[in-house]
A = this chain, B = another copy of it.
Amino acid sequence: MPRPSNPEVRRRLLEAGLDLVHTRGFTASGVKDITDAAGVPKGSFYAYFPSKEALAEAILEHYWTDIETRLLPILDEDGLAQARITRFFHALADDHEAGEFLLGCLIGKMSLELSSSERVRAELLRILDRWDEALTACVRSGQGGSGGVRADLDAAQLASLLIEAWEGAALRGKVTRSRAPYERFEAVTVPALLR
């Protein structure tokens, strides 16, 4: 069978898949649900993705690429490192609020639902590495001179802790359906860890 090459069909499958997996979860989203939502015949799914797991990997990549291109640049803007970090997480929280806190973070969701799949786990590790890396660079830029960030702790360690505390805030935000945990993270955790 020749490989299909309609990028429009692939994009529709990816977006319908992202939407369904984020809303219902991976296991609860059947291939037929996804092809129906994408408006393509069920048979075409496997022409684009060898398995549902491969779609999960592509969905995560798609989700992360959006964050990477749209929000990660905030970390490189002008200003103090702590302010840039706060702005970045604030923008991410705005995304969650736009979904009325019903969705949470897809990276967190897939970490808990699907890290038993080696394929998905490898993609999650790649995303967390990239996220760590971008935050580490920002933290480090604040550690010298009058940057305002504590220099007694490793930048990479602080970056990882910020991501973890934020994922936990998003997790509670999904249960309480409110912005309070995100606000607490910005107001207390970020300064407590960085100063």
Q: Which residues of A contact B (CB under 8 A)?
A: 24-25, 27-28, 102, 104, 108-109, 111-113, 115-116, 121, 124-125, 128, 153, 157-158, 160-161, 163-169, 171-172, 174-176, 181, 184-185, 188-189, 192-193
Query: B residues within 8 A CB of A121?
Result: 175
Given contacts A184-B157, A193-B188, contact A171 B27 (CB under 8 A): no
A185 contacts B171, C-beta separation under 8 Å: no
Contact of A108 among B112, B124, B160, B193 (CB under 8 A): B112
Query: B residues within 8 A CB of A189?
Result: 161, 164-165, 193
Query: B residues within 8 A CB of A169?
Result: 164, 168
Query: B residues within 8 A CB of A175?
Result: 111, 115, 121, 124-125, 128
B176 contacts A164, C-beta separation under 8 Å: no
B193 contacts A181, C-beta separation under 8 Å: no
